[in-house]
């Protein structure tokens, strides 16, 4: 390396790594890309050779890189700073920034926020962990950006100086990366600019009760979303926080009441109470960012949702096929399953793939009352078999999604016109049989359309 200038090393040539590298090249900062497939070879020998504090300014780590990676271990030993691509990009973006995280619902809510912002702000940006890396558009003179931020991105981000942030929910996830729930929650909480009085933080009452012990002496503005209907999952009653603002959801009458206005969600296209909570958070953020009530209300009915997130894509008479392949953990499955109207229609559920480190027993109470059939496929069909064997008669174990769909077609031909939903909501990672959840969802949709045409 040229010893006349300190280098910034980009570790990992994924989407965010390449975006960070291209940004630094534009800024003539002489970055060095390290990866196993391109750039400088990712090896311990090269790490020992190139990680010289007199030559290296910092490492920008791609979120997919393990914290235990040899380059990072050596960098820490030599006191070379490590940060995220998001933190790098934030230095150059001069518009307002909104960051959204949580175990589930991040993509939907971030897209909803962007949708509501765009009803009034024509150059609103969308990115982060969805679509484009922040570095791709941080040099634009856009007025505002809505960013989805994962725990992997946040763990290396010290203070993003966001104008607004939200933690939607917290459940067991990514413990193979973070080690325990304590570390996972601490990573999520990095999204909040805790000591900034102009920063606005948005969350639900349930989530506030989960994370409040990690948020002592907050000086930012706090906005709480409360469900007016009884929620047995909320373990502690809401106690007003000095200076906080409260928004309420009324599911019975289908409206959301903020401190400023009432919004109807009668014509909102997304199903499930969890999506109404996502809408509530998005409305609160849009209001705080200055979007007028009439623009928010008008935009609510125009949001169509995301691919692979409870995507209704095919119908045959009274049967509806839904692709929820983005549900990669049990919490995401439970978000809609606990409210499913079993009394009104039958459900054929496909779950499976590579299970995460989560106890499957959270499904037992619902499976007791389950009206329909559950197909368990992939590695989960072996790993979960002993725990789920007690639900024989309701559960079938298969190797692949195709096998489940062939069984479903045979059953459909016998049963006829009974109202039914066929839903792929795997609650598992896809990596046992697919590259990612998108490939899994597209395979499911294509096979359904071919088999049932």
Give tens-digit pLDDT for 265-313.
999 999 888 999 999 999 999 999 999 999 999 999 999 989 999 999 9
- Structure pTM? 0.86
pLDDT cut 70: percent of the chain above it:
93
Q: Judge contact between 210 and 233, C-beta under 8 A.
A: no
Q: Per residue in 40-57, pLDDT tens?
A: 999 999 999 999 999 999
Q: What is the mean pLDDT of residues 173-200?
A: 86
d(Cα 327, Cα 350) in Å, to the nearest integer?
A: 11
Distance CA 379, CA 389 (A): 15
Q: For tokens 């039958």, what's the residue?
A: 346
What pairing do the DSSP bridges indicate for beta strands 262-264 and 255-257? Answer: antiparallel
The pLDDT tens digits for 235-253 are 555 566 777 899 999 999 9
- Radius of gyration, alpha carbons of the chain: 23
Cβ pair 234, 205 in contact under 8 A = yes
User: Using one digit for the tens of pLDDT, what is the confidence trace for 145-183?
Assistant: 999 999 999 999 989 999 999 999 998 765 666 568 899
DSSP lists the bridge partners of residue 396 as: 375
| Structural domains present in the chain | 7-86 (3.40.50.720), 93-300 (3.40.1190.10), 311-451 (3.90.190.20)
Phi-psi region of 416 (alpha: psi -120 to 50; beta: other; left: phi over 0): left
Angstrom distances, CA of residue 137 to CA of 20, 113, 116, 428: 11, 18, 20, 32
pLDDT band at 92 (very low <50, low <70, confident <90, very high): very high
Asked if pLDDT for residue 408 goes beyond 70, the answer is yes
Among 20-34, 168-182, 189-203, 402-416, the minimum mean pLDDT is found in 168-182
Average pLDDT over residues 190-212: 95
User: Exposed (0-12), middle (13-18) or buried (19+): which is 198, by Cβ within 10 Å?
Assistant: exposed
**Percent of all residues in the chain with a pLDDT value above 90, rounded to a whole number:** 79
Say how many residues make up the chain: 453
The answer on pLDDT for 1 being more than 50 is no
- What is the distance between the alpha carbons of residues 443 and 70, in angstroms, rounded to a whole number? 36
Q: At what angle do helices 273-288 and 293-300 cross, to 10 degrees?
A: 150
What pLDDT digit, counting tens, does each position of 432-452 carry? 999 999 999 999 999 999 999
Query: Is the Cβ–Cβ distance between 363 and 425 less than 8 Å?
Result: no
| Joined tokens for residue 202 | 């948005």
- Residue 27, token pair as written in the block: 């800024």
C-alpha 272/C-alpha 255 separation (Å) is: 14
* pLDDT band for position 381 (cuts 50, 70, 90): very high
Dist CA 328 CA 320 (whole Å): 21
The per-residue pLDDT for 64 is 87
pLDDT digits (tens, 9 = 90+) for 300-319: 999 998 999 999 999 988 88
Residue 230, pLDDT score: 45
> Residues 334, 274: contact at Cβ < 8 Å?
no
For residue 78, how many other CB atoms are within 10 A of its CB?
Answer: 12
- In sequence order, the 6+-apart residues with CB closer than 8 A to the CB of 12 are 34, 35, 61, 62, 64, 65
Phi-psi region of 296 (alpha: psi -120 to 50; beta: other; left: phi over 0): alpha
Phi, psi angles (nearest 5°) of residue 225: -105, 125
Residue 233 has pLDDT above 60, yes or no: no
**Model confidence band, residue 2 (pLDDT cutoffs 50, 70, 90):** very low
């Amino acid at each position: 390396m040229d010893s006349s200038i300190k280098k910034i090393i980009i570790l990992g040539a994924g989407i965010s790594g390449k975006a960070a590298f291209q940004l630094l090249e534009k800024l003539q900062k002489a970055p060095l890309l390290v990866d196993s497939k391109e750039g400088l070879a990712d090896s311990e020998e090269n790490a020992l050779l190139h990680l010289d504090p007199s030559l290296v300014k910092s490492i920008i780590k791609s979120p997919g890189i393990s914290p235990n990676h040899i380059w990072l271990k050596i960098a820490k030993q030599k006191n070379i700073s490590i940060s995220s691509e998001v933190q790098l990009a934030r230095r150059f973006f001069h518009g307002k920034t909104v960051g959204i995280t949580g175990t589930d619902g991040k993509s939907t809510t971030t897209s909803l926020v962007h949708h509501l912002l765009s009803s009034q702000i024509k150059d609103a940006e969308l990115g982060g962990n969805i679509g484009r890396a922040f570095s791709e558009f941080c040099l634009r003179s856009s007025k505002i950006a809505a960013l989805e931020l994962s725990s992997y991105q946040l763990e290396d981000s010290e203070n993003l100086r966001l104008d607004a942030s939200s933690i939607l929910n917290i459940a067991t996830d990514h413990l193979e990366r973070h080690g325990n729930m304590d570390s996972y929650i601490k990573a999520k909480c990095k999204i909040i600019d805790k000591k900034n009085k102009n920063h606005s933080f948005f969350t639900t009452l349930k989530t506030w009760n989960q994370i409040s012990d990690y948020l002592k002496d907050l000086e930012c503005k706090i906005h709480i979303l409360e469900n007016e209907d009884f929620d047995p999952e909320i373990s502690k009653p809401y106690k007003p926080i000095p200076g906080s603002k409260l928004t309420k959801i009324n599911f019975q009458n289908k409206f959301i009441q903020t401190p400023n206005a009432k919004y109807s969600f009668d014509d909102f296209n997304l199903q499930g109470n969890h999506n109404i909570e996502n809408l509530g958070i998005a409305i609160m953020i849009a209001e705080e960012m200055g979007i007028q009530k009439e623009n928010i209300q008008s935009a609510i009915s125009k949001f169509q949702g995301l691919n692979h997130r409870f995507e209704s894509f095919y119908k045959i008479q009274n049967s509806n096929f839904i692709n929820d392949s983005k549900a990669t953990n049990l919490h995401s499955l439970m978000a809609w399953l606990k409210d499913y109207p079993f009394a009104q229609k039958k459900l054929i559920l496909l779950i499976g793939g590579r299970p995460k480190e989560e106890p499957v027993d959270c499904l037992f109470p619902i499976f007791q009352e389950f009206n329909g059939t559950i197909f368990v496929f992939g590695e989960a069909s072996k790993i979960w078999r002993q725990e789920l064997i007690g639900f024989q008669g309701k559960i079938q174990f298969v190797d692949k999604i195709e096998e489940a769909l062939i069984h479903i077609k045979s059953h459909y031909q016998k049963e006829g016109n009974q109202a039914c939903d066929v839903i792929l909501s795997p609650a598992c990672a896809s990596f046992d049989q697919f590259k990612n959840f998108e490939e899994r969802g597209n395979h499911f949709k294509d096979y359904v359309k071919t088999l049932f045409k």
